[in-house]
Each structure stands twice: as C-alpha cells, then as structure tokens.
C-alpha cells in the first residue's frame, strides 16, 4: 500500500495565495498598490541620495577653492621675496588640516617649490582638486609668480552623508508602511459591501431574487452600485412574472400559428404552381421577356433572352438593362423614348413598338423591337414604382426578308432597265446590218443579170459582214446572259501566254481594218506558260483591244503589255483615244451602258461587262483610268494558277 505524502505548508500556502489572487480582484488591487508604493518610494530614495551626494561634493569643492585662494593670497609677494622657507612655512601652516591630501606650489617655470603629501592617483581618488595662479600686483602692473595645486579627501563629508541617507531611507520606509496600512484598512472597509454585491449578482445570475445588500444607504460609488443591483433585482422579478404570463399566452399562439402556417403553405404552393406555369409560358415565348424594377434593374430573364442576347440569368440579375444592352438607333444615339427609363420619377413607356440595335454578349449588335409596359400592383407601392415588363423581338429574319425583297425589287428594276437597254441596243444595232443585208439581197434579186461577178461578190461580202456582226452581238448577249445566271463555264488549263496574246491582237486588228492606230506589243518570252481559261481570256483581251481601236478614231498608239507582279499576271491595254467622262467611270462595267461621248460609235455596251465577269471567275481584278481627250488605261490582274489545286 502506497503512502501519500501531504503537501508541505509552503506549497499549500502558495496555492491558496495563487487561488486568491486569481479569484479576488482586491488582492490584485492591493498587490498593484503595494508595488506602486514600493516603486515610488525606491525612486524617491534614489533621487534623495543623489541630491545629498551632489550637495556634499559641492561643499567639498567650495572648501578646496577657498583654501587654494587663501594660499594664493598668502604667497602673493614680489618675486625676490619668495623663497623656499616662506613657501614651506605657509604650506605647513595650511597643511595642518586632516582632509588635506596634497598641497604643492610651483614657480612660473613650472618647477616645484614646496609640497605637502603625495599627488593623488589618476584613478580611484575620492575627493576634489583645485588650482589657482599666484599673482603679485605692483601698482598698475600684475606679475604671475607661480601657481598653487591642492587636493582634499572626501572622507570628512562621508560620515555626514551616510547619516542623512539613512534618515531619508527610514522616512520613506515608514511612509510606505503607513500607506499600505491605510489602504488595507480602506479595503477592509469596502470589502463587506462588495462581497454582498458579488453574492447578489451570483444569485441573480441563477434566477434567485432573494438577496441582501448592506451598502444601499451609502452615498458613494459602492452605494450607487448596490442600488443599481437592487434595481436590476426588481427588473428581474418583473421579467420573471412577465415570462410566466408569456408562457400562458404562448400555448394558444402556437396552435394559431400552426393553423396559419398550414394556410400560408397552401397559398405559397398555389402561388408557386401559378408562377411555374407563367414561367413555362414565358420560357416558350419566341420573344425575350425581361422583368425589371422601377430603376431599370433586371429582376427576371427568360430562356429566349439568353438564346437571343447570350447572357445567362445569373450574370444579369440586378444590373441596369439600359447599361447592359446599350440600345441605339441607326444613327448610334440612344432613343429618346428610352432615355428616361430607370431614372427616379414618373416614366411613361413608349406607346408602340420601338426598333433599336442592342449589344449582345458576343460584342455584335442585334436589331430588336421593344415593347414595354408597367405592372402597377397594390404590392408594388405608388404608381410608377412597380415592375416593368420588356419584350424584345429579334428583327434579324424580318430585316433579312426586307433586304431580300428590296434586292429582288432592285434586281427586277435592273432587269427592266436592262431589257429597255437591250431593246434599244437591238433595235439600233440590228437595224444597220439587217438594212445592209436586205439592200444587198434586193440588188442581187433584181439586178443580178446586170452585175458582174465582182459586184456580186462585194454584195455577198457585205451580207456576210452583217451576219458576222449580228452573230458577234448575239454571242455577247449569250455570254452576259450566262454570266448573270451563274452558268458561265470556267475551265482553266495550261496555255502558251505570249502566243495566245498575239493571236488575240491579230483578231482585234482584223475586226478594225480601217483603224489608224499603231499596236505596240510587250509580251513575255515565247513558250511562257500560264494556267488560265483560254476562252474567257480571249473575251477579256479581245474586248479591251477592240474598244481601244474603236474609241480611238484619230489613231495613235495602243499599248498591249503582259507582265508579272508578284503572284499575278498583269495585262495592260493603253490607248490615246477620246477617253471616258468622269460621270461614266462608275458605270463602265454595267451591261448595255454606253458613254455619253460614244453614242455615235456602234457598240452593244456588253464588252466591259463581259470583261468584268470573266475576270471575277479568275478571282482577279480590273481597274480603269481615263481622262477625256487623253486616253484610257485598263489594267487586269489574274492570279498565276499553278495547278487545278488552286481552285480548291
């Protein structure tokens, strides 16, 4: 069986002291006051000791200075009267004091004349030193006859200093003990009411209102605190009584609340079902349906709005609808009917639909039709403070249909215009060759027996020329018809470019036998290959050369140049003819268009239209530069197609 050693008295006392220190603030207060008193007493004692030491040191220094002055006055005589015996006698007479440690007299040459005692050490000397010069006055003149040095020990003042320090320490100690005792008596005087307050608060915390307070009649802070605790006790009693009443009322309220809750739950279920049905109707709507508050902030956003505009509901709820969509008209301005939307005050929505452009999440603008209406309900507050329902309808399909209709109408008008031009051209261009053919046939019919073989051949050549002219015109009409119907064939193949260009220039020259123009050719070397459509290239170059000869009635040089620039073939036809007026330049590639200065020259107005379409099939480009009276330059750029893979 083990033995348990009892705690030592010292440990038990320490434990009780620590427990009392932690549980009772008075002990902590007493300890703090004692520490403050001890600290202040110690500081004052140190200060007093320092002051006493300084006073003792000052008195000793004054005595040394006075003694040195007396010695200097006793030795003040003419230099020839000062001798060692006089100095020695004065020094011995003054050196009879017990605290004199060292006394010495020096000549003006700093030679020692007399000395009593030994010089003080550099360190460890406790005392004061003084030094004065010895001077002699002879009328208006003063002579320095030497100097006096003396040192006094501090032993004479130490005894007095110790007594005074002891008196200060004892006085401070007695004062500290008196203060601690006084505080202890005051603490005991205050302990009883504070203990009652502590016990009362503990009882009140547990709900017990039967308490006793002994300090309620006191006029000081303890009395006020006691009365406050007593008031708290009265309040607690009233609260306990009220609690009992509330408990009795609560039983009836719980039953009423349970019944009311059941009715509210049924009503909420019905509202949610209606809301779900309404949301389903809104979600299947073909329009974007957006609900905002009176400030224009989004409160609801259906699925069609997400599909149309791109934003998910979680990204837009609570945001300003106008700031989000940034509606603009075609001119880029905010419509005036929407500007007041979301601002404080009364606002009337637009009376009818409003077409604007709104910003989508992807960054592009979408044409929509706005329809808005306010929902002023009894729960929404005063008029104008309710919700606003916004319907947005996508106008993309409608505008595309309108654009298609306008395009079709424009195309129809263009066709009407082309038909009118074609009829005018055909009536003009066909009349001349038909008249020539008809007159030649009639001459052959009526006067063939009278004509010679040469005259008959000339009439037949005239008929053949008219037929060829009509055939070329019909071929151009067929070509432009195929191009407009997107049925023009495009079959590029490898060909000899220089040889083909030369053949085209020969044919063009043959069709203009009466032209006074000089043709200048600049082709790549023979044998140069190009991957192009031969038939379309003949149309392009033949029409350009034919126009150069036709519209240069006064002759001049016609340059036909073929070169490469980068990855493209460049064909240039330059003439010095009548040129193209500036107002006709934008329309030179339109079908059946004739320039204003060329109405007297035969032509169909289809050549440049065929050129433009043939160049487009090659994925190339054609430009024209002209000055009336100076000539015209046509430049065609066709890509160098290395193989059929280029087309893919």
Alpha carbons 228 and 16: distance in angstroms, whole number: 32
Give residues with Cβ within 8 angstroms of 639, minimum separation 6.
567, 568, 569, 618, 619, 620, 646
Model confidence over 43-95: pLDDT tens digits? Answer: 888 887 888 778 777 777 777 777 777 777 776 665 445 555 665 666 566 55
User: In this model, does residue 195 exceed pLDDT 80?
Assistant: no
- Structural contact between residues 536 and 596, judged by C-beta atoms closer than 8 angstroms: no
285 vs 331: which has the higher pLDDT: 331
Instruction: Give the residue among 346, 293, 302 at the shortest CA–CA distance from 322.
Output: 293
Residues 188 and 332 in one domain: no
125 burial level (CB within 10 Å; 0-12, 13-18, 19+): middle
Q: What percentage of the chain exceeds 90 in pLDDT? A: 9
The pLDDT of residue 415: 62
Domain of 379, CATH number, reads 3.30.450.20
User: In this model, does residue 633 exceed pLDDT 80?
Assistant: yes
User: In this model, does residue 122 exceed pLDDT 60?
Assistant: no
* Mean pLDDT estimate for the chain: 77
Alpha carbons 84 and 191: distance in angstroms, whole number: 84
The pLDDT of residue 575: 92
The pLDDT of residue 385: 56
Q: Is residue 462 part of a domain?
A: no
Residues 83 and 225 in one domain: no
4 vs 65: which has the higher pLDDT: 65
Q: How far does the chain reach from its first CA to its final CA, in angstroms? A: 108
337 burial level (CB within 10 Å; 0-12, 13-18, 19+): middle
- The number of distinct structural domains making up the chain is 4
**Beta strand 141-153 with 365-375: parallel, antiparallel or unpaired?**
unpaired
Q: Is residue 238 part of a domain?
A: yes
Residues 167 and 224 in one domain: no
622 vs 96: which has the higher pLDDT: 622
Residues 298 and 198 in one domain: no
- Structural contact between residues 382 and 345, judged by C-beta atoms closer than 8 angstroms: no
The pLDDT of residue 503: 92
Q: Which two tokens stand for residue 260?
A: 């009311």
Model confidence over 150-181: pLDDT tens digits? Answer: 777 777 677 777 777 788 788 878 887 888 78
Model confidence over 339-383: pLDDT tens digits? Answer: 777 666 556 677 677 888 888 988 888 898 888 877 765 444 454
User: In this model, does residue 646 exceed pLDDT 60?
Assistant: no
597 burial level (CB within 10 Å; 0-12, 13-18, 19+): middle
Residues 581 and 499 in one domain: yes
Average pLDDT over residues 208-233: 80
Positive/negative CA dihedral, 524, 528, 529, 533: positive
Alpha carbons 279 and 260: distance in angstroms, whole number: 28
- Alpha-carbon Rg of the chain, whole angstroms? 65
Q: Is residue 182 part of a domain?
A: yes
Q: Is residue 431 part of a domain?
A: no
Residues 236 and 118 in one domain: no
Last-in-domain residue among 193, 210, 227: 210
Q: Is residue 525 very low, low, confident or very high in pLDDT (cuts 50, 70, 90)? A: very high
**Beta strand 631-639 with 621-627: parallel, antiparallel or unpaired?**
antiparallel
Residues 109 and 238 in one domain: no
pTM value? 0.36
Instruction: Give the residue among 275, 309, 266, 270 at the shortest CA–CA distance from 289.
Output: 309
- Name the H helices within 381-430: 396-429
Q: Which two tokens stand for residue 412?
A: 């129809």
The pLDDT of residue 80: 47
Q: What are phi and psi of 642, to 5 degrees?
A: -75, -30
The pLDDT of residue 2: 44
Alpha carbons 72 and 229: distance in angstroms, whole number: 84
The pLDDT of residue 3: 46
Residues 185 and 256 in one domain: no
Q: Is 110 strand, coil or helix?
A: coil
Q: Is residue 547 part of a domain?
A: yes
Model confidence over 256-276: pLDDT tens digits? Answer: 888 888 888 888 888 887 777
Q: Is residue 184 part of a domain?
A: yes
User: In this model, does residue 436 exceed pLDDT 70?
Assistant: yes
Model confidence over 552-578: pLDDT tens digits? Answer: 888 889 999 999 998 899 999 999 888
Domain of 559, CATH number, reads 3.30.565.10
Lowest mean pLDDT among 5-9, 38-42, 99-103: 5-9
- Structural contact between residues 498 and 527, judged by C-beta atoms closer than 8 angstroms: yes
Residues 155 and 123 in one domain: yes
Residues 541 and 611 in one domain: yes
Q: Is residue 632 very low, low, confident or very high in pLDDT (cuts 50, 70, 90)? A: very high
Q: What percentage of the chain exceeds 70 in pLDDT? A: 77
Q: Is 443 strand, coil or helix?
A: helix
Average pLDDT over residues 534-563: 88
484 burial level (CB within 10 Å; 0-12, 13-18, 19+): middle
The pLDDT of residue 642: 47
Q: Is residue 513 part of a domain?
A: yes
The pLDDT of residue 643: 46
- Name the H helices within 517-580: 534-550
The pLDDT of residue 381: 47
- Structural contact between residues 305 and 290, judged by C-beta atoms closer than 8 angstroms: yes
Lowest mean pLDDT among 13-22, 355-364, 494-503, 523-532: 13-22
The pLDDT of residue 24: 66
Residue with tokens 């009220």: 242
570 vs 135: which has the higher pLDDT: 570
Q: Which two tokens stand for residue 294?
A: 């009176």
Lowest mean pLDDT among 162-171, 393-402, 586-595: 586-595
393 vs 57: which has the higher pLDDT: 393
The pLDDT of residue 634: 93
Residues 174 and 48 in one domain: yes
Average pLDDT over residues 291-312: 85
**Beta strand 288-292 with 387-394: parallel, antiparallel or unpaired?**
antiparallel
Q: Is residue 471 part of a domain?
A: no
Model confidence over 526-536: pLDDT tens digits? Answer: 999 999 999 88
Last-in-domain residue among 362, 377, 394: 394
Residues 303 and 389 in one domain: yes
The pLDDT of residue 574: 94
Boundaries of domain holding 595 = 488-647
Last-in-domain residue among 162, 184, 210: 210
Q: Which two tokens stand for residue 28?
A: 């902590």
């Amino acid at each position: 069986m083990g033995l348990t050693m009892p705690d030592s008295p010292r440990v038990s006392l320490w434990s009780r002291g620590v427990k009392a220190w932690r549980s009772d603030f008075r002990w902590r207060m007493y300890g703090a006051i004692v520490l403050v008193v001890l600290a202040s007493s110690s500081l004052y004692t140190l200060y007093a000791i320092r002051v006493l030491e300084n006073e003792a040191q000052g008195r000793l220094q004054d005595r040394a200075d006075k003694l040195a002055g007396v010695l200097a006055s006793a030795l003040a005589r003419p230099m020839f009267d000062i001798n060692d015996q006089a100095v020695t006698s004065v020094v011995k007479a003054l050196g009879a004091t017990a605290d004199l440690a060292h006394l010495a007299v020096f000549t003006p040459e700093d030679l020692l004349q007399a000395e009593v005692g030994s010089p003080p050490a550099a360190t460890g000397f406790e005392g004061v030193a003084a030094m004065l010069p010895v001077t002699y006055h002879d009328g208006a003149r003063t002579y320095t006859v030497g100097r006096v040095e003396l040192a006094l020990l501090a032993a004479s003042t130490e005894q007095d200093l110790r007594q005074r320090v002891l008196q200060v320490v004892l006085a401070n100690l007695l004062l500290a003990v008196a203060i601690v005792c006084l505080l202890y008596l005051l603490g005991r005087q205050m302990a009883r009411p504070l203990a009652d307050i502590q016990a009362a608060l503990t009882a009140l915390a547990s709900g017990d209102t039967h308490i006793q307070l002994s300090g309620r009649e006191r006029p000081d802070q303890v009395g006020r605190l006691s009365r406050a605790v007593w008031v708290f006790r009265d309040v607690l009693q009233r609260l306990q009584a009220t609690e009992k009443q509330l408990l009795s009322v609560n039983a009836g309220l719980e039953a009423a609340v349970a019944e009311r809750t059941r009715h509210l739950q049924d009503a909420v279920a019905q509202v949610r079902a209606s809301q779900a049905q309404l949301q389903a109707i809104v979600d299947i709507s073909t329009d974007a349906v957006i609900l905002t508050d009176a400030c224009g902030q989004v409160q609801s956003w259906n699925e069609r709005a997400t599909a149309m505009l791109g934003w998910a509901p979680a990204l837009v709820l609570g945001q300003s609808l106008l700031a989000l969509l940034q509606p603009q008209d075609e001119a880029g301005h905010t419509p005036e009917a929407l500007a007041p939307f979301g601002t404080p005050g009364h606002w009337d929505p637009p009376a009818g639909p409003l077409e604007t452009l709104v910003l989508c999440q992807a960054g592009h603008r979408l044409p929509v039709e706005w329809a808005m209406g306010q929902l002023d309900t009894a729960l929404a507050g005063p008029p104008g403070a309710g919700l606003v329902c916004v319907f947005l309808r996508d106008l993309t399909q409608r505008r595309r249909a309108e654009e298609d209709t306008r395009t079709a109408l424009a195309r129809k008008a263009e066709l009407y215009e082309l038909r009118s031009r074609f009829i005018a051209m055909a009536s003009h261009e066909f009349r001349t060759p038909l008249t020539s053919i008809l007159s030649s046939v009639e001459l052959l019919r009526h006067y063939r027996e009278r004509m010679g073989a040469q005259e008959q051949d000339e009439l037949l050549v005239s008929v053949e020329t008219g037929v060829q002219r009509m055939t070329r015109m019909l071929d151009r009409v067929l070509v432009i018809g195929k191009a407009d119907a997107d049925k023009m064939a495009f079959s590029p193949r490898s060909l000899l470019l220089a040889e083909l260009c030369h053949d085209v220039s020969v044919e063009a020259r043959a069709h203009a036998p009466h032209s006074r123009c000089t043709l200048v050719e600049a082709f790549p070397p023979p044998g140069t290959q190009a991957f192009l459509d031969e038939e379309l290239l003949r149309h392009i170059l033949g029409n350009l050369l034919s126009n150069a000869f036709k519209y240069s009635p006064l002759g001049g040089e016609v340059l036909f140049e073929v070169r490469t620039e980068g990855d493209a073939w460049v064909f240039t036809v330059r003439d010095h003819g009548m040129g193209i007026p500036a107002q006709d330049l934008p329309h030179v590639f339109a079908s059946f268009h004739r320039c204003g200065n060329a109405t007297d020259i035969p032509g169909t107005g289809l050549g440049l239209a065929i050129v433009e379409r043939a160049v487009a099939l090659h994925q190339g480009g054609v430009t024209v530069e002209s000055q009336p009276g100076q000539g015209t330059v046509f430049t065609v750029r066709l890509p160098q197609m290395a193989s059929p893979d280029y087309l893919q």
